[in-house]
Every structure is written in C-alpha cells, then in structure tokens.
Amino acid sequence: MLLVTSNVSDSNSLRRKRVTTKTTRVALKDYTDAFFGDGKSLTQEKRKELVLKYSPLIKYVAGRLAMRLPPNISPDDLISSGVIGLMDAIEKFDPSKKIRFKTYAEFRIRGAILDELRSLDWIPRSIRKKTTELEKAYQCLEKELNRPAEDKEVAEALGLSMEKFHKLLDKTKSITFLDIETVRRRMPDNNENDLFDLIADDSEINPFALFNKTEIKEILIKAIIALPEKEKIVISLYYYEDLTMREIGEIMGYTESRISQVHTRAMLRLRARLASVAEEING
C-alpha cells in the first residue's frame, strides 16, 4: 500500500476527530468461498444472486466517482455501467489466482464505469488545455525551486490573480484526480484500461504508458512524500480512509470547496512529477 503519513501531532489530532465522522465505505461481505469455493461454474440463479449481493458496491463506486464529475454526468448511467462490470467480473473471475472476488469485482466495476466516461467524452478540450497549463506551471516551478511551488508562485507564473487561480483549480478538478487505489489494485493484465487512461491528455504522449506498475508505485511514493503536509493528509484521508471531501473538511476545519482545491493541487503535482520523469526517459 502507498501509505501516506503526517507528523505525529497532526495524525493523533486527525484520529481523534475521525471518531465523530461517519464514513461512506461499504461494509460488504466477500463471497468468494461461498460462490466459487467448489470450483464449479455458477448457475444463472447464482449469478443473479451474486449481482444482488454486490449491488451496494456498484452504488458505492459510482457515487465516489460521481462526486468528482460535472453535474451533467448522470449517476444512473454510471450505475448501469457498473452492473455490466460486475457481470463481467462474475464471468471472468478465476479463483485459482488467489484474488478475492470482492477486490476483483470492484476493479471491474470501476473499469466499466471509466469506459463509459471515456465514451461520453465528458472532458471539454478547453478544460484539458487549462489542466495541461497548470500541470506544466507546477512542473517548471518545482524543478526550478527544488521544492513544492506555492499558490502565489503558480498564479504569478500564469499571470493570474489569486481569485482567478482558485477558480481555475475548481474548473480543472474533474480531470486532475488520480485514483491511487487503482495503482494499488491494478491487475496484471496488459489489456486492462484504468484511471491513468482517463486522466491522460489524448493529444499528448501518455507518461503513464512509459512505466510498469512497479515503477509507477515507486515514483508516486516519492512524489507523495514530497507533497506539502496538508495535501498529504487530504490524499491519505480521501484514498485510504475513504472519506468524502465534505468529511475531510469537517476533520481539517476547511470548507468542502477548499479541500477540493487542495486535492486538485496535489493531483497536479503528482501528474507533473510523472510527466517530468517521462521527459527524462525520453531524453
């Protein structure tokens, strides 16, 4: 796991506050042994039963992704795609690979939903362009300064006021999320699509395609460690504790909008770091 830690005092404080915050994680039983333990193919009735048992997982995954997407994306469409992903998981699951079905199902559900998002072409080209500009600004400044660039420095580099800079972060938040869980759970199947495809700009070389999963993990570990403290905390709570932006805001004492901006900055820094490494490889 790509574990992100903060200093002791911050960690203890966050844990105390966490007690009063309800998470949205689905407490779902794993049915690997019950349905696949005998090594026999599932009957149609068993398949339907398994779909019903894992329907909460579909709603959970779809809901998590929907929170980071524009309002014009229908959650119902995501759920429908998730059902297709779950059925695909039931069809292709191989218990001999020693993978729990719940983990495999979540991977397939997420992949099916992301396929649907790609087909919708939901990211306007203008937003892709703005994201690329932001990413390059972070990349250049942090290479020059040899430290994380501050908001004011990035805003000045882009010729923006702080107000316009924060509005730009809000506009680009949908494309800048990097699901670290996907890195951790990535299956050894070269034909699988994952979230790296979604965040990459189709008009440019995809830096993620240049690395294998081990290299990506190592690069991300170093990049996450180098993040400013607040950004590390947000990444940890969002991706490892499965808290929403609103819940993280309650814990850290910020608005949901502010937490979203912190998350976006962290994602831009991680994208910029991967792009820098890709450039070094390309010479």
Residue 197 identity (one-letter amino acid): D
Count of residues in the chain: 283
**Rg of the chain over CA atoms, in angstroms?**
20
Q: Where are the domains of the chain?
A: 1-22+124-173+175-283, 31-122
**pLDDT for residue 181:** 38
**pLDDT for residue 177:** 55
Residue 122 identity (one-letter amino acid): W
Q: Rounded to whole angstroms, what are the CA distances from 76 to 62, 72, 73, 147?
A: 9, 11, 9, 43
Q: What is the pLDDT of residues 220-253, one digit of tens each?
A: 788 888 999 999 999 888 877 878 888 999 999 9
Query: Which SS3 state, helix, strand or coil, does residue 76 take?
Result: helix
- DSSP annotation of 173: T
Structure tokens given for 129: 């362009």
**Residue 217, C-beta contacts closer than 8 angstroms, at least 6 positions apart:** 2, 183, 184
**pLDDT for residue 8:** 36
Entry pTM: 0.66
Structure tokens given for 245: 């932006």
- DSSP annotation of 41: P
Q: How many other C-beta atoms can be found within 10 angstroms of the C-beta atom of residue 39?
A: 7
**Separation CA 119–CA 261 (nearest Å):** 27
- DSSP-based helix, strand, coil % in the chain, nearest 5: 70, 0, 30
Structure tokens given for 29: 């039983």
Q: pLDDT under 70 in the chain at which residues?
A: 1-27, 121-122, 175-214, 216, 281-283
CATH class of residue range 31-122: mainly alpha
**pLDDT for residue 259:** 93
**Residue 202, C-beta contacts closer than 8 angstroms, at least 6 positions apart:** none
**Separation CA 243–CA 18 (nearest Å):** 10
**Residue 57, C-beta contacts closer than 8 angstroms, at least 6 positions apart:** 26, 28, 86, 102, 105, 106, 109
**pLDDT for residue 203:** 43
